[in-house]
Homo-oligomer: A and B are copies of this chain.
């Protein structure tokens, strides 16, 4: 043992025995979904089946949202230069920041502040008060409104699932209070967006806010890999990549069986 000895609470590795947070990885395989394993890796405990199912749904919600987000474009751009797949993915990961995916963490902090300040009165009143404070600081509430999706189906699905699975808690209550408060103060709906819904659920799952970025990154790496691979296999090297002038030419719209 050197004077640089250190400890980690994540993996333990012995010959022919690999554990994650105390569980044998081979025992987890086939018995938990990847979403449940993500929860275990980040939080240190296995989720209930309900939480596991919500985790999978949350990850699926963030797997991709088009070829226009900067992370997808960064992955395409780097892939077009002859980069390796992992370098292309890394460039996409580097694009997940304050303005792209960052609303999850910001909204988690807002909701946690609201929960911390809540004194048992009306969530709606507290939300209105905090919205007024934000307005006085010329700030906008993170996690609400979207340029394109005025009624984001992912948001609705996330909250419905969380309600059905009995997971919705103070985070969801506060998110809905802010949504109502915004509608009242603006005179029009500025609905919770998918970042805000994920924030509410991550709060109710007791994730620390700084893992909002990790959550989004874990889900999105799959989309980035698909984009980078498509660039490598379908496009000519060094093409000029237009950020919006693209269209979908994959399988036609279809429904789950």
Chain A interface residues (CB < 8 Å from chain B): 1-2, 4-13, 15-35, 37-38, 41-42, 44-46, 53-61, 63-68, 70-71, 73-74, 77-78, 80-91, 93-100, 102, 148-154, 156-158, 161, 210-211, 213-214, 217-219, 221-223, 225-230, 232, 234-235, 237-256
Known interface pairs A74-B91, A222-B38. Does A80 touch B67 (Cβ–Cβ under 8 Å)?
no
Closest to A253 in B: B22
Question: In the bound complex, do residue B34 and residue A60 qualify as a contact, i.e. CB atoms below 8 Å apart?
Answer: yes
Known interface pairs A94-B83, A95-B78, A95-B91. Does A243 touch B242 (Cβ–Cβ under 8 Å)?
yes
CA distance A152 to B54 in the complex (A): 31
CA distance A136 to B19 in the complex (A): 39
Question: In the bound complex, do residue B99 and residue A94 qualify as a contact, i.e. CB atoms below 8 Å apart?
Answer: no
Contact of A149 among B2, B11, B16, B156 (CB under 8 A): B16
Contacts of A156 in B (CB 8 A): 26
DSSP majority for the A interface? mixed
CA distance A70 to B87 in the complex (A): 14
Contact of A95 among B34, B42, B65, B81 (CB under 8 A): B81
* A-B pairs with beta carbons under 8 Å apart, 5 shown: A15-B150, A23-B254, A29-B58, A82-B98, A89-B93
Q: Closest CB-CB distance, A257 to chain B, in whole Å? A: 8
Question: In the bound complex, do residue A246 and residue B95 qualify as a contact, i.e. CB atoms below 8 Å apart?
Answer: no
Report how many copies the assembly holds: 4
Contacts of A31 in B (CB 8 A): 256
Question: In the bound complex, do residue B255 and residue A229 qualify as a contact, i.e. CB atoms below 8 Å apart?
Answer: no
Contacts of A38 in B (CB 8 A): 34, 63, 222
CA distance A89 to B238 in the complex (A): 19
Question: In the bound complex, do residue B245 and residue A213 qualify as a contact, i.e. CB atoms below 8 Å apart?
Answer: no
Contact of A6 among B16, B35, B223, B242 (CB under 8 A): B242
Contacts of A230 in B (CB 8 A): 8-10
CA distance A161 to B242 in the complex (A): 39
Known interface pairs A27-B255, A222-B38. Does A81 touch B91 (Cβ–Cβ under 8 Å)?
no
Closest to A154 in B: B26
Most buried by B among A19, A37, A94: A94
CA distance A95 to B84 in the complex (A): 10
CA distance A225 to B40 in the complex (A): 12
Known interface pairs A59-B37, A217-B221, A229-B210. Does A11 touch B86 (Cβ–Cβ under 8 Å)?
no
CA distance A209 to B155 in the complex (A): 36
CA distance A248 to B17 in the complex (A): 13
